[in-house]
Each structure stands twice: as C-alpha cells, then as structure tokens.
Structure 1
Amino acid sequence: MKRSPLKLISAIALMLMAGTANAASVAPPANLTQAGKLTFCAEFGNPPLGFYDEAQVLTGFEIELGTELAKRMGLEVQWKEVAFSAIIPALMAKQCDAILSQLFDKPERREVVDFINYMYSSQSLLAPKGNPKNIKGLADLSGLKVSVGNGTTIQSLLDEQNKLFKEAGKPEANIVVFPKDADARQALQTGQVDAYGTTLETAAFFFTKAGQIFDIAGEPFNKIKTGMAIRKGEADTVGALQKAFDSIREDGTYMKLLEKWELGADAIE
C-alpha cells in the first residue's frame, strides 16, 4: 500500500527529528565562544592525535574525539590552532571553549584549569636508526644535543635532568627548543641533533611509519593522565563535556577511536 504524500513527509520529518535527538544527546554549554560551535584550542603536528595528513586534511584521535563530542551536543566542531607554549593563555583569553591537545594533567595546571581526562600518555626519546649514541634514557643524554617542542613536558624533564648532570659534574645536555614539536622532529631527521624528545604516542607513530630512519631509544617513561582543559569556574562547560565524553565511552565509541589509532593501551579507566 502506498503512503500518502502527507504521511510520507511526516514520517521523514520524524526520522530527521529522531536523528537530531540522537546526535544532540547532551545539552550544550550556554557560554560558548561562538554560537553553534564547540571550539577547541590545539597544536597540530602530533600524530596520531592531531595532525595534517599527506592530503593536508586535519585528522587524528583527538580530532575525531572532538568532532564526536560536538556531535553529542548538536554542535559543529571548530579548531583554533595555537602554539603549545601559548595554549593555556589562549584558553584563558577565551579564544576557545576548551583545550584538546594532549595536555598533561599536572597539579600546577589544575591551579588555573579544570581537567576531563581521556587517555594516558608517556614520554619517549627518538634517535637516528641504529641508535648510534646508545641512548636508553634521560641519563644517557649528557653532552648530547636533544630537540624538543617549546613548553612541552619533555623539555621540563630535560631541564631537571641537566640539574642532575651538573650536580654529578657531568656535561649537560644541549637542549634545542623549537616552536613546534614537528620542527623538533625534523631536526633529528636532518641530523641536527642526537635525539628528539616527545610523547610515546608520537614516537611510536613515526617509528611505525619511518622505522628505516628512526629508532625508539629506551623504554617509555613518565606515564601521566591527559585531558581536556576548561577554564576554572565554568561548571556548565565542564558538565556538558563530561556528559558527552561519558556517552562516548558508554556506547563503545571511545575504544573504537583509540583502537583505530592504535592507542588502545592508553585508555583511561
């Protein structure tokens, strides 16, 4: 039996309404930076989390997670690219609603922002193929040149290691700081440094993609929780993002995204 045009239109309308209801399962925050959009501050160039692929398309685990979070609120995702060293100031200046850029949950950061943790991260060192300097950890970097991205945790860990070298009467590591993590990696690839410090996730990605160029030097270290950062006092935004993230975990989307980007071992409890 054929449906009448009016009934068919009504059925389609109900389907569309149901789809919208499913997509917008969480009420969005009232104080968005831009109406209708969920805006994240991030630095790109950190695969497999947030980076431009060979076709210059923005992709990665965090990109897909951010898109899904916005979808659960019936919003469009928007990205504000910011140098990592300036990412918290950009959030505080209300250039975005939250940070989604492998920001480690540290006590000093919790003094100015609230966190919603979504994965674990660790630190790692990359060396040229064959690891000619026999680097197994931070303690082996005395007198060597090491590249890092500005404002990163590995930079602060190297600063602490240099204090230990100095106390022991050993030559300090020559820490070469670059504006972006991608620039620090390029320095290793072009032979400007002996090692490159970054997160395990990025190190593993490039070892998998370019194992003929790089080796992972030693075991990963400094495992830490990683989270979205939101300005203090914005309970509405924290609540909405937490509910959206919880729904992503509960329906299995979270693990599917992690496993797609080979990050299943970094799942948060």
Structure 2
Amino acid sequence: MLDVTKGRSVVVAAAVSLGLAAIGLQAAQAALPPAMMKSKTIRYCSAINLPPMEFMSPQTKPEGVDIDLGDALAKSLGLNAVYINMPFAGLIPALLADHCDAIISQLFIKKSRLQVIDEIPYMFSHEAVLLKPGAPKVPDLEALSGKKVATVTGTTATVLLDKANVALKAAGKTPIDIVAFPENTQALQQLQFGQVAAYGVAYETARYYVHKVPGQFAMGGPPYFKIATGIGLRKNETALNQALSASLATMMKNGTYATIFKKWDLGIDMLKPAGG
C-alpha cells in the first residue's frame, strides 16, 4: 500500500529546501552592487592565454580552472559571467578603471598588490621552469646563469628571476638574460623555437604543456614557490567581496570547488575548507 503521508513529507521537504535555496540566493543578490543587480552580470578581467587556468577553446570560448570557478560563482549569485580578455600586466589597471568587476586570472596574493586591491584566496599556485626535452635540469634559478630565459611581464616568475640575478651578481656570476613578453603564447613559442633556453612560468601552465604536447617540453625540476592566489576586487567593493567569499565557502563545502580542481587534475592547489 502506498504511504501517502511519507510521500507528502518528501514533497514538503523538497519544497522547503528549494524555498531556503531561493531565500539564500535572494539574500546574496540583495548584497550585490546595484549596477550588477540591474545587469545580472559580473564582468571578470582575465588574461585568457594561460592554460589550464584560462584559455580559449577551439570554438574561441573561454575555458579553464578560473573560468569554471568564475562561472560557478556567478551562477551561485544568480548572475551571468562575462570575461574581458587582456594582457596580464593590464589586469589591475583595468579593474581600478572599472572596466570589470573582478579579476580571476591566477593572480598571486602579494603585499604590494594588497596595498592597491583586495584579494579573496581560492587556491595555491606554484612556479616552475619549462625546458626543451634533454636540457639539463634546473635545481634552482641561479643554475640559469648566463642563459636566455623567457617570462611574461608582470608575473611572479619575472620577479623571481630578477631576484636570482641579484644573487648572481653579488656572487660575481653572469646574470640571467631575462626576455619578457606580454603574453604566454609568445614566451612559449620562443622556447619551442629554441630562441631561449628556458621559460619561467606558473607550474600549472608548465605541467599542462608537458602533458598536452608530449616530446616538446620538459619540466626543469619540481614545483617551487608555493603562494596563495586570489580573486581581485577594488577595495571599496565590500558587498561584492562578502558575496563572493560566502559563495566560495559554500562551494568548498558542497563539493563544487573540489569537482572543478579534480577536473583539471590540480588537487595539489586546492585550499582546505574552513574547519577542514
């Protein structure tokens, strides 16, 4: 015999659950900036040429870890995500000029940046040295003394290479010949064509190319320089900061966050949820 009471209980529970979800969404939306509420859109600034974090698909659509995360955060707030593609060095100036609402582009959290913008931590990142197969391994950056090394303007790899040069000069050794490019694609091509001996880049990107193009590139050594990475926001965007932070915390608890990082095989970069 059909248990009608039990069936009604299930329906009521489902209705309550949906009702609570709707209330939660309304509360989150109520805290959003008025312009965002009106447009139902959040604009992300991103340098969409650094796989697997953000890059263009063959259909010229943004994809990657940051894109999946940005989409999920937007959806949790009842918004649509729009990505504004630009060189990495232009991300913070564009945010400050209100050309976008947030930066999601593997932006490392640094004291110098936090003096200008706020950042919401969402992952760890590492650095690496990418080489051509067969090249001698690189135990540290100082081992690149006298060699031509590609990097991207404004990245931490550039800062670390500059720091290595200070140490090399102090030791009376030949400095690294750092060649900076505005975008990842150009730097990678220089290594591919043998114009540089190495490419200082984020570990996530180096690992992607080693697996994506077998036989073309090799890791210079294990990942190093672990650093927290965040979503960039203007300092006066308190409401948006709180809304995104709350949505991220929820995603870390309900499994959405882990699903994104496991999809891209980057469990090494995951943050632990609060109390986890």
Name the TM-score, length of structure 2 as normaliser: 0.87
Partner of 2:85: 81
User: Could you list the per-position Cα deviations for residues 27-82 of structure 1 after superposition, in whole angstroms to 9, with x for gaps in the alignment?
Assistant: 25124467210111110111111001233332101101101111111111011112
Indicate which of 226, 234, 237 corresponds to 2:237: 234
User: Could you list the per-position Cα deviations for residues 172-227 of structure 1 after superposition, in whole angstroms to 9, with x for gaps in the alignment?
Assistant: 11101101122111110111100001001001111111230111001211100000
Q: How does 1:55-94 map to 2 (within 5 A)?
A: 55-94=59-98
Partner of 2:43: 39
Provide the secondary structure at the position in 1 that maps to 2:39: coil
Q: How does 1:1-269 map to 2 (within 5 A)?
A: 21=22, 24=25, 26-27=28-29, 29-32=32-35, 35-131=39-135, 133-269=136-272
In the alignment, the residues of structure 2 paired with residue 261 and residue 134 of structure 1 have an alpha-carbon distance, to the nearest angstrom, of 26
In the alignment, the residues of structure 2 paired with residue 56 and residue 144 of structure 1 have an alpha-carbon distance, to the nearest angstrom, of 35
Instruction: Give yes or no for contact 1:125–1:137 (8 Å, CA) kept in 2.
Output: no
In the alignment, the residues of structure 1 paired with residue 40 and residue 99 of structure 2 have an alpha-carbon distance, to the nearest angstrom, of 15
Instruction: Give yes or no for contact 1:48–1:201 (8 Å, CA) kept in 2.
Output: yes
Instruction: Give yes or no for contact 2:142–2:165 (8 Å, CA) kept in 1.
Output: no
Q: Taking every aligned residue pair, what percent have the same amino acid on both sides?
A: 37
Instruction: Give yes or no for contact 1:24–1:73 (8 Å, CA) kept in 2.
Output: yes
User: Given residue 139 of structure 2, which amino acid in structure 1 is its aligned partner?
Assistant: K
Provide the secondary structure at the position in 2 that maps to 1:155: helix
Instruction: Give yes or no for contact 1:61–1:257 (8 Å, CA) kept in 2.
Output: yes
Instruction: Give yes or no for contact 1:123–1:199 (8 Å, CA) kept in 2.
Output: yes
What RMSD over aligned residues (CA atoms) do the two structures have, in Å? 2.0
In the alignment, the residues of structure 1 paired with residue 217 and residue 245 of structure 2 have an alpha-carbon distance, to the nearest angstrom, of 38
Change (3 A) 1:121 1:32: farther
In the alignment, the residues of structure 1 paired with residue 179 and residue 54 of structure 2 have an alpha-carbon distance, to the nearest angstrom, of 23
User: Could you list the per-position Cα deviations for residues 73-130 of structure 1 after superposition, in whole angstroms to 9, with x for gaps in the alignment?
Assistant: 1111011112111111111111111110000001111111111111000000000011
Partner of 1:8: none
In the alignment, the residues of structure 1 paired with residue 58 and residue 215 of structure 2 have an alpha-carbon distance, to the nearest angstrom, of 19
User: 1:22 Cα shift?
Assistant: 8.6
In the alignment, the residues of structure 1 paired with residue 134 and residue 230 of structure 2 have an alpha-carbon distance, to the nearest angstrom, of 34
Q: Which is further off, 53-62 or 212-221? A: 53-62
In the alignment, the residues of structure 2 paired with residue 68 and residue 118 of structure 1 have an alpha-carbon distance, to the nearest angstrom, of 13
Provide the secondary structure at the position in 2 that maps to 1:158: helix
Change (3 A) 1:160 1:262: same
Q: Which is further off, 98-107 or 27-36? A: 27-36
Name the TM-score, length of structure 1 as normaliser: 0.89
In the alignment, the residues of structure 2 paired with residue 210 and residue 42 of structure 1 have an alpha-carbon distance, to the nearest angstrom, of 24
User: 1:135 Cα shift?
Assistant: 2.6
Which has more helix, going by share of residues?
A: 2
User: Given residue 235 of structure 2, which amino acid in structure 1 is its aligned partner?
Assistant: K
Task: Extract unaligned runs of 5+ from structure 1.
Answer: 1-13
